[in-house]
Amino acid sequence: MRRLRGKLAPYLLSLPSWVYLLMFFLIPLGSMLGMALATGDPLDGYTMSDNFQEFVDAFTNYQDSFYRSFWFGTASTVVTLLLAYPVAYWIAFHAGRYKSSFLFLIMLPFFVSFVIRVEAWQFILADQGFIFGPLKSIGLLPQNFHVLSTQWAVIGGLVYNSFAYYVLPLYVVLEKIDRRLVRAANDLYATPATAFIKIILPLSAPGVFAGFLLVFVTNVGDFVNADILGGPGTYMIGNVIQDAFFVNQDYPMAAALSSMLMLMLMLAILLYSKAFGTDAIQEYAA
């Protein structure tokens, strides 16, 4: 009996999480898939069916937005990584006893609402704003120059908003790296660059991996940046889903698009972990 209880204990202990997953993940997921296949309209109600046409339409009508979302997501994540890595590295290795102060500074913008921060960029980057206005009036920039309403503004907004989410996981792994390994490399006549490439970079791989997922998945589904900073031709799939759901009340389409986005993200994550391998990362970490 005791042995049985011992075997069951981990499952019993994890029961709340299973219930949570079921209630807030599996059931909504199921009803979303059901809705995607349903036929009808909001006035007469919906009936369950196997209307796979909705998925075909969703893809043919909105494939540009899908591609664009993945392009924005990838570009913004890579740029965020390139910006966040040096910062995390510097804090972990050179900030000394001010580490927590610097981390706090990085988190500071998060005390202000997300949307307000994005809107602030709208003012900073305004055509006649306090940056571009003077530059235009002294003729350094052509009158027609603008950053807002371009895809670069959207990608920039995504980078800005995900920066801290990348710094933190990178900082955590960099901080844990055994400094004696770096010193040993130096003793063995490795240049600082070699030491970085052979020791620090591989050991920080788990942070790069975790941060990439965190930022990429969030950014692909984002719609706020495209809405506020974008222009014609920056519509992301998140915006399309918003419209389908709220404006057009086309619930089957919204559900189909959401399911497809989720599937694609899952696939991307799967391929990503296959390519860069959780095993490889474990190895590095060991």
Partner 1 sequence: MSEDELPGNAREQAFLRGLTQPRLTRQNFLRGAAGVALAALAPQISRAETVTDWNAWWAAQKPTTDFVFANWPYYIDVQGSGSDHPSIDAFTKQTGIKVKYMEVIQNNAPFYAQIAPVLKSGQPTGYDMIVMTNHWELTELILQKWLVPLWKEKVPNFAKYASPSVVNPAYDPGNKYTMAWQSGFTGIAYNPKLTKREITSFEDLWDPAFAGHVGMFNDNTELGSAALLKLGIDPATSTVEDWHKAAATLRDQKNKGLVRQYYDQSYINALQNGDIWITQAWSGDIYQANSKGYKDLKFVVPKEGIMMWHDNMAIPVGAKNPLSALAWMNYYYTPEAAGIIEDYINYICPVPAAKDYILNVIKDPTVANSPLVFPSDADLKKAHDFYAFKSYAEFQKWNSIFNPIIQA
Q: Which residues bind partner 1 (CB under 8 A)?
A: 28, 31, 35, 41-46, 61-62, 64-65, 113-116, 119, 122-123, 126-129, 133, 144, 146, 148-149, 217-218, 220-224, 227-228, 230-233, 235, 238-243, 245-251, 255, 258, 261, 265
Query: Nearest distance from residue 235's CB to partner 1, in Å?
Result: 5
Distance CA 93, CA 84 (A): 14
Contacts of 236 (CB under 8 A, 6+ apart): 65, 68, 69, 72, 154, 222, 223, 226, 230
Shortest distance, position 238 Cβ to partner 1, whole Å: 4
As given in the structure block, the two tokens for residue 165 are 């989410």
Q: Which is nearer to partner 1, 122 or 273 (CB)?
A: 122
Nearer to partner 1, 87 or 213 (CB): 213
Q: Give the separation between CA 85 and CA 64, rounded to whole angstroms.
A: 31
22 vs 115, which CB is nearer to partner 1?
115
Q: CB atoms < 10 A from the CB of 31, how many?
A: 11
Residue (168 or 254) nearer to partner 1, CB:
254
Residue closer to partner 1, measured from CB, 147 or 181: 147
Q: How far is the CB of 248 from partner 1 (least distance, A)?
A: 5
For residue 53, the minimal CB distance to partner 1 (Å) is 14
Q: Which is nearer to partner 1, 52 or 246 (CB)?
A: 246
Compute the least distance from the CB of residue 10 to partner 1, in Å: 28
Report the nearest approach of partner 1 to the CB of residue 34 (Å).
9
Hey, how many other C-beta atoms are within 10 angstroms of the C-beta on 118? Answer: 18
- Kindly tell me which of 116 and 286 has the beta carbon lying closer to partner 1: 116
